[in-house]
Chain A
Amino acid sequence: EAQVTQNPRYLITVTGKKLTVTCSQNMNHEYMSWYRQDPGLGLRQIYYSMNVEVTDKGDVPEGYKVSRKEKRNFPLILESPSPNQTSLYFCASSLRAVGYEQYFGPGTRLTVT
């Protein structure tokens, strides 16, 4: 089944404790992206990747890192999480950057205390 998977689905952590949220897609998509969703703000793009080893900042990249060493994986790294990073995170992928539907993962609910 074609899908985008994220792990973990739920995570509660403490301020400053490094964490990684994994994202994997099995559709051979070139483009992958991370979003955060906050009430009243819709989804905002954190980082995106046009292809392997090519990443760029979205609208809200501060406090996040990404890497794209393999085509299928695009992990999101929070080196030192803070409470303002408490949010719902979505990974998405599409065949190319433009003109193609983005497929979304199920989301990761992160709480930073």
Chain B
Amino acid sequence: AQSVTQPDIHITVSEGASLELRCNYSYGATPYLFWYVQSPGQGLQLLLKYFSGDTLVQGIKGFEAEFKRSQSSFNLRKPSVHWSDAAEYFCAVVPLGDYKLSFGAGTTVTVRA
């Protein structure tokens, strides 16, 4: 079955440390790939997206993501986390030829001082 999986429900990271959030997808062809962030009590904001081309994608707020076709993954990274990065992060996909945006279950990031 087609799906998008975020294996980590909750991650705690120290301020200043690096962060990596995992996302795996299961689709016949590489879908369009997105990462969204939801700060507490807020709507969702797009961090970055991948459609084709360079497999390392730069986004807003200092985030980047790497697409790896062989692993069906699109992991999100940030070299140095700030307390304001505490939020819930969602990986999402739009399959080729489709219109529906399907989300993973999300990863909650806690930043400790």
Contact = CB atoms under 8 A, between A and B. Distances in A.
Interface of A: 4, 31, 33, 35, 40-45, 48, 50, 58-59, 90, 92, 97-99, 101-102, 104-107
A20 B34 CA distance: 30
12 contacts: A4-B43, A41-B105, A42-B103, A42-B105, A43-B44, A43-B90, A45-B100, A48-B99, A48-B100, A50-B99, A99-B32, A106-B42
B72 interface: no
Contacts of B13: none
B43 A104 contact: yes
Contacts of A41: 105
B70 to A, nearest CB: 24
Interface of B: 9, 32, 36, 42-46, 49, 51, 90, 92, 94, 99-106
Contacts of A92: 44, 101
Contacts of A98: 32, 94, 99
Contact of B46 (A48, A50, A101): A101
Nearest to A91: B43
Interface centre among B44, B46, B102 (most CB of A within 10 A): B44
A42 B106 contact: yes
A58 to B, nearest CB: 6
A43 B103 contact: yes
A99 B43 contact: no
B33 to A, nearest CB: 12
Contact of B103 (A44, A99, A101): A44
A40 B99 contact: no
A99 to B, nearest CB: 7
A101 to B, nearest CB: 5
Contacts of B32: 98-99
Contacts of B45: 104
Interface centre among A35, A90, A104, A105 (most CB of B within 10 A): A104
A59 B100 contact: yes
A101 B94 CA distance: 11
Contacts of A43: 44, 90, 92, 103
Contacts of A4: 43
